[in-house]
Amino acid sequence: MHLPTLDSSAGVSGLTTALLLSKHKDYAVTIVAKHVPGDSDIEYASPWAGANFLPFSKPNTPAQQYERDTWPELERLARHVPEAGIHFQNTILYRRAKDSGTPTGEWMADLVSQDPWFKNLVPNFRILDQSTLPPGIDSGTSFTSVCMNVGLYLPWLTSQCLLNGAKLHQTTLAHISDAATLHHSSRKADIIINCTGLSSLRLGGVQDPALYPARGQIVIVRNSAGGNMYTVSGTDDDPAEAMYIMQRPGGGTVLGGCLQAGNWESQADANLATRIMKRCVEYCPGLVGEGQGIEGLSVVRHGVGLRPMRTGGIRVERSVVGGVVVVHNYGHGGYGYQTSYGCAGAVERLVEEAVLERARL
Ligand SMILES: Cc1cc2nc3c(=O)[nH]c(=O)nc-3n(C[C@H](O)[C@H](O)[C@H](O)COP(=O)(O)OP(=O)(O)OC[C@H]3O[C@@H](n4cnc5c(N)ncnc54)[C@H](O)[C@@H]3O)c2cc1C
C-alpha cells in the first residue's frame, strides 16, 4: 500500500520524526515548514539550543521514557557518525541547596540529584568528592554526556530525510489541516504529523492553551571549556537564571542561561549577557587566559530562543482534525533534542496504528 504521510515541520522534533517515518519504504513523507535549518527566527526554537543531553524529566513520566529511549541513538551517533556533529563530553553538575524552590532549582531538581533515575543509563555516573567542589556548592555529580552542534546536526537530519526520499516544502500554514493538501504526490495526505512547537498555541485546528514560552538567552564564544560541560542549579543574581557551559563539536562554546517563563522578548538583554559571561568565567576560569575576566572571551554571537513549554508535558497524541488523522508531537520545553528519538518513536507507533486501522476499513 502506498501511504502518503505528511510531516509538518523542520525543527528537531519534526525532522527526527520525518527521519524515522521516511525509513518506511511504503510511506511518502513531505516536510512542510515555515522555517528550515539555516533560518534564524524567534519562532523557531531548534537553532538556539546548546544542545546536550541532561535529563530533566521527573521519574515515571512519559518524558522520562522519551529521554531513556533517546540516549542510545545519540550515543550511537556520537560514537559512529561523525558527520552528525555530536560528540561525548564529560558533564559536571553542581547543586546549591538554596536553589530549591526557585524556577531553575525546580527545573534541575532531578538532574542534580545524587541518586538520579538516569545514573545507570549514561556512562561513568559518579558523585563528586566534597573536597573538589567550588565555594557555595553543596553537592556535585558527573557523567559522560553528548553535546550536539545544532548548526551541523539539523542539516544532517534534513539530509538523511532527503536521502530516504522525503521532500521539503517551505511554506506557512494557517490551519493544521491545510498541510494535507501540500503532499508532494499531489494526493491528499492521509496523516499529518504536527511538530510546530510553540506555534501550536495559535495554529488553527490546534490552539493549545497549555503552551507557553520559557525564554533562554545564550552567548556563543570561541573559547574552549577544556572538554567539560558545566551546569549549576541557580545563581545569586536572579531565581530564573542558571549557569551552564557546553562545548560544541567543530567549534563554539555555548554559555547560558536563563529560564524566563512567559517572556516573549526576542532581543538579547545586554546586562543578562554580561552576568552570563561573568558566571561562566567564575566557574570555569580556564575559559580565558590567566588573570583575565570576560574581556578574555571572544564572542561569536548572542542568542535568544523560546523553549516551547507545555503545562502537562509533551503532547504525543493522535486526533482527527478536518477529517484527517493528526499525530501531535510538540511542547518539548527545554528538552527537545534529548527526547527527540523517544518522541519520534512514539509517533511512529501511532502512525503504524492508524495505517493498520485504515487497512482494515
Ligand atoms: C537557549 C536554549 C537552549 C536549549 N538547550 C537544549 C538542550 O541542551 N537540549 C535539549 O534537548 N533541548 C534544548 N533546548 C530546547 C529545544 O531547543 C526545543 O525543545 C526544541 O528545539 C523544540 O523543537 P521543535 O521541533 O518542537 O520546535 P521548533 O524548533 O520551534 O520547530 C517548529 C517547526 O514548526 C514550523 N512551524 C511552526 N509554525 C508553522 C506554521 N504555521 N506553518 C508551517 N510551519 C510551522 C517551524 O517553521 C519549525 O520548522 C533549548 C532551547 C533553548 C531556547
Q: Answer whether residue 67 is part of any domain.
A: no
In a domain, 122, yes or no: yes
| pLDDT value of residue 3 | 63
Identify whether residues 242 and 145 lie together within a single domain.
yes
Rounded to the nearest whole angstrom, what is the distance from the C-alpha of residue 9 to the centroid of ligand 1?
Answer: 10
pLDDT in tens, 186-221: 888 999 999 999 999 999 999 999 999 999 999 999
Question: Quick one: 316 and 229 in the same domain?
Answer: no
pLDDT tens per residue across span 112-141: 999 999 999 999 999 999 999 999 999 999
Dist. CA 229–CA 222, nearest whole Å: 15
**ipTM surpasses cut 0.95:** yes
Nine-digit cell at 285? Answer: 576560569
pLDDT of res. 348: 96
**Residue of the CA atom closest to atom 15 of ligand 1:** 334
DSSP assignment of 4-27: EEEE---SHHHHHHHHHHHTSTTE
Same domain, 328 and 281: no
* Average confidence (pLDDT) over 290-310: 97
Residue at a domain's end among 277, 295, 310: 310
Domain encompassing residue 173: 3-47+151-210+312-360
158 and 298 housed in the same domain: no
Q: Whose CA is nearest to atom 19 of ligand 1?
A: 336
* List of E strands, 130-210: 139-148, 167-170, 191-194
Within 10 angstroms of residue 171's Cβ, the number of other Cβ atoms is: 10
> Which cell numbers hold the place of 63?
518524558
Residue 130 sits in the same domain as residue 249: yes
Residues 6+ apart with CB under 8 A from 126: 141, 142, 143
Query: Contact 179/8 with Cβ under 8 angstroms?
Result: yes
| pLDDT at site 2 | 54
| In a domain? residue 316 | yes
Task: Name the region of 102 (left: φ>0; alpha: ψ -120 to 50; beta: rest).
Answer: beta
pLDDT for residue 166 is more than 60: yes
- Annotated binding residue at 334? yes
User: Is 62 among the domain residues?
Assistant: no
Instruction: Please check whether residue 98 lies inside any domain of the structure.
Output: yes
Residues 222 and 253 reside in one and the same domain: yes
Do residue 272 and residue 293 come from a single domain?
yes
* pLDDT, position 8: 73
* Domain match, 143 and 32 both: no
Q: In this structure, are strands 299-310 and 241-247 parallel, antiparallel, or unpaired?
A: unpaired
Residue 52, in any domain of the structure = no
Given pLDDT bands bounded at 50, 70 and 90, which one contains residue 171?
very high
Q: In CATH, what number is assigned to the domain containing residue 227? A: 3.30.9.10
Residue at a domain's end among 310, 328, 343: 310
Give CA angle at 283 (281, 289), nearest 5°.
40
Averaged pLDDT score across all residues of the chain: 95
Whole-number Å distance, alpha carbon 291 to ligand 1 midpoint, is: 38
Question: Given pLDDT bands bounded at 50, 70 and 90, which one contains residue 169?
Answer: very high
